[in-house]
Amino acid sequence: MNGKYGVLVVDDSAFMRKTISTLIEASPDFFVIGKARNGLDAIEKVKQLKPSIVTLDIEMPELDGLQTLGRLMNENPVPVVMLSNGTDSTLEAFELGAVDFVIKEVLVNNTEFLDDFYQRLLVAVSAKLPVLIQKEEAVPDNKVHTEEMVEMSKELLFIGTSTGGPSALQTILTKFPSDFHLPIVVVQHMPPGFTKPLADRFDSLCQLKVKEAEHNEILKPGTVYIAPAGLQTTIDQNERNVYQIKLKISAGMETLYKPSVDVTLLSAAPLYKERLLAVILTGMGDDGLRGCRKVKQLGGLVLTESKETCVVYGMPKVIDEAGLSDEQAPLFKMYDKIRHALL
């Protein structure tokens, strides 16, 4: 028991329990406090062992990972990192309160990913558990609340986020009315294969159109563009002076992330100048610091999510500490702050 934090490993496969446990025990920060073979076993062991964190498989007999997660968050809230190869179930896990997820196949087959895995566990241990998203009844189309079409001082809304982002984005994006007349570009740190399902899910929940961004796509008002994972998303101006999306394998700058908040903002800021509003939500690391510095230099506005609601107060923190944030706001007030900043 050399580590600081006890991990409960939950998986119906004995082989996977052993493999994941071996990886965890190799870290100086963690030890395996227990193992569970299914959801019911996990719920009991969380009560008994009081782990610092749980790694949870999704596909299990008796009580699957999502059902288990729901019960844990209601009965014994604890930071949970999902181990999954699927996309839809992973996105649902965020709604139920999961802090983060790791692609199981990558973790087991790629030792280069271990340091990232340990970092994610460390972040999850100290993370503030996400506020569970309340299910609301759909509003009939003919009763959708629309806001008066007023002149806006901004022409682009940008949102950047990482850990805790999917649920934070859902909270904000579902509030926009159907007549919102600016394009919204979103950079959410995710592995390849997950951003399109995220966009599709948001599209089914939001009054605005939400889609994964495509190369050479013209930015249109009232549409949310999710930057595709595995590529860099930049904004350019074509020969007709119309703003469009350019997807690149590399953006010619050093960054850990694809997509990167910095890359997108550094391309957008010179085009939009004072007509750009950048919003930085929960997430670990410092992606967005260089981009927000450029936004401010060119007259744009920057809003950051305040510490009280961030799952991980990392990305907003470095911007706050650099004096680049025009205003900090908790997640539940962010939509109103955005609307006010756009006027």
CA atoms within 13 A on the CB side of 155: 12
Q: Which residues are catalytic?
A: 162, 189, 287
Identify the CA nearest to 342 among candidates 144, 177, 189, 216.
177
Q: Which residues contact 327 (CB under 8 A, 6 or more apart)?
A: 303, 304, 337, 341
> Residue 3: CB partners within 8 Å, gap ≥ 6?
25, 27, 28, 29, 30, 31
Give the pairing type, strands 53-57 and 5-10. parallel
Task: Name the helix (H) or strand (E) containing 316.
Answer: helix 315-321
Query: Residues in the chain, how many?
Result: 343
Residues 233, 263: contact at Cβ < 8 Å? yes
CA distance 198 to 106: 20
Q: What is the dihedral of CA 158, 228, 99, 9, to 10 degrees?
A: -170
Report the candidate in 182, 186, 156 with the shortest Cα–Cα distance to residue 168.
Answer: 186
The helix or strand, by DSSP H or E, that contains position 203, with its residue range, turns out to be helix 195-205
Alpha helices in 14-155 (DSSP H): 14-25, 39-49, 65-75, 88-96, 104-109, 114-126
